[in-house]
Amino acid sequence: MSYTDLNTSLRTIMTPGPVEVDPRVLRAMSTPIIGQFDPEFLTIMNDTMDLSRYAFQTTNQRAFPINGTSRAGIEAVLCSIIEPGDKVLIPIFGRFGYLLTEIAGRCGADVHTMEKEWGEVFDPEEIQAEIKKVNPKIVTVVHGETSTGRLQPLKELGNFCRENDVLFVVDAVATLGGVEVKTDDWNIDAVIAGTQKCIGSPSGMAPITYNDRVEKILLERKKIERGLSSDSVNERSIQSNYLDLSQIQDYWTSDRLNHHTEATSMLYALRESLRLIKEEGLETRIERHKFHEGALVAGLQAMGVELFGTAEHKMPVVTIIKVPEGVDEASVRSTMIQQFGVEIAGAFGPLQGKVWRIGSMGYSCRKNNILRVIGALEATLIYHGVKVNRGDALQAALEFYVDK
């Protein structure tokens, strides 16, 4: 068997991740390797921490990436702070809320859940009432649920948790870098982001940040590993070695106490992505995501397809449309990618087969791509026998762009 040179097609990726990556970020990854103890590497690590703080809108000392995909970041935070029997309250409004229960449960947490129908979010007061009832050590919630396209308001909840001395952990994997996430202002104790969505880096790293309230627990649970110290014992030590934040945070200091070998090229990519965020400006970037959402929604409405869910809590970076009656959703996606080279996403759980999810995140969130996905979708729907308002969608989007 022979293996050809890597010959991938050039795609227009309009899913909720992974999305297209800025050519500057791709180029950064082709930079030759330097060693993990090279003095120049410390500068790259420090830059990445500074730039992460900017993206997280925090003054936390701790802001660095976990070497793994987004759920590695979530597990690192949860397994480092949850001890067996700890009460954890998880409000669920889509697939990734269940993931939080899965991870917390495997850490030995006493998991309490509350659920909303897919498509809705929680009124902060509902969660506050449950906190009073359950009295959890930790509340953890998804900010932007890509499975339903909904955005959970966090500010009031953060204030309430802080006042009641509850740790507040937020999965901002799908929002950070494209939607407002104010770590400090909203009193969030730990935030997990994802690289392959609004940050616009490839999948494989998970930037996180956490404050002194979290660090206090880490220091209490710290156990230096054998091989570096022979006499460190801690009965409360963290159940994972790879995802042990008490060790990883020491690697991210000038001591650089060896834990793993930092993923060099991925760090190059993340630094460049964060630098792009800084150059664009976080506010401008968040506005850009809202702006292109406007064009996409205008186009889809003019086409005559039905949007899923109400506008009030819609994620600006995910737009979900209902699959028209009698249409096979998978074959529409197949036509779009095979004929037009445009990728949109299907769905999970109760929405599987019923909706398509269109992402407009990071570098993929730009005028060309919005117009391409609208055009490809219209032609594909017509090809699959769906009745739409022919030609209206792109005109509506163009008018939106020309007007603004």
Q: Under rule CB under 8 A, which residues in 219-278 are in contact with a second copy?
A: 225-228, 237-243, 258, 260-266, 268-269, 271-272, 275, 278
> Which residues, in sequence order, are bridge partners of residue 314?
150
**Stretch 334-353 residues interacting with a second copy (CB under 8 A):** 337-338, 343, 345, 348-349
Q: Is 38 in the site for a second copy (CB under 8 A)?
A: yes
Nearest to a second copy of 129, 219 (CB atom): 219
* Structure token digits, residue 179: 């939607």
**Stretch 58-87 residues interacting with a second copy (CB under 8 A):** 67-72, 75, 79
**Stretch 190-209 residues interacting with a second copy (CB under 8 A):** 196, 202-204
Judged by CB under 8 A, which of 56, 64, 93, 96 binds a second copy? 96
Nearest-approach distance from CB 153 to a second copy, in angstroms: 22
Nearest-approach distance from CB 105 to a second copy, in angstroms: 9
Q: What binding mask, one character per residue, do residues 142-171 give for a second copy by CB under 8 A, x or -?
A: -----x------------------------
For 180, how many CA atoms within 13 A lie in the half-sphere containing its CB? Answer: 11
- Length of the chain (residues): 404
Distances (CA, A) of 193 to 121, 142, 200, 205, 384: 20, 11, 11, 9, 37
Which DSSP string corresponds to 109-173? -EEEEEE--BTB---HHHHHHHHHHH--SEEEEESEETTTTEE---HHHHHHHHHTT-EEEEE-T
Q: Is 26 in the site for a second copy (CB under 8 A)?
A: yes
**Stretch 307-336 residues interacting with a second copy (CB under 8 A):** none
Measure the CA–CA gap between 201 and 178, rounded to whole angstroms.
Answer: 13
Measure the CA–CA gap between 153 and 144, rounded to whole angstroms.
Answer: 9
Span from 27-35, 213-221, 298-306, 396-404 in contact with a second copy (CB under 8 A): 27-35
Nearest to a second copy of 343, 378 (CB atom): 343
Q: Residues comprising the binding site?
A: 357
Residue 216's CB: how many other CB atoms inside 10 A? 11
Nearest-approach distance from CB 3 to a second copy, in angstroms: 5
